Amino acid sequence: MRGALRALGWTGPVKSPTYTLVEHYPFSSLYFYHFDFYRFADPSEWETAGLADYFRDDAVCLVEWPERVAGLLPPADVDIALAHPKSGATGRDLALSAHTANGERCVAAITQAMGD
pLDDT in tens, 5-23: 777 777 788 877 776 778 8
The verdict on 68 and 83 lying in the same domain is: no
The verdict on 85 and 110 lying in the same domain is: yes
Q: Give the phi and the psi of residue 60 in degrees, each rounded to 5.
A: -105, 125
Please count the structural domains in the chain. 2
Examine the fold and report which residue of 41, 58, 74 is the final residue of a domain before the chain moves on. Answer: 74
pLDDT, residue 19, reads: 67
Q: Report the alpha-carbon distance of residue 83 to residue 46 in Å, rounded.
A: 27
The verdict on 29 and 13 lying in the same domain is: yes
CATH number at residue 59: 3.40.50.300
The verdict on 32 and 10 lying in the same domain is: yes
What's the predicted TM-score (pTM) here?
A: 0.70
pLDDT in tens, 35-79: 999 989 998 888 888 899 899 888 889 999 999 997 899 889 999
The verdict on 65 and 82 lying in the same domain is: no
Higher pLDDT, 4 or 44: 44
Q: Report the alpha-carbon distance of residue 54 to residue 50 in Å, rounded.
A: 9
pLDDT, residue 116, reads: 58
Please give the residue range of the domain that contains residue 104. 75-116
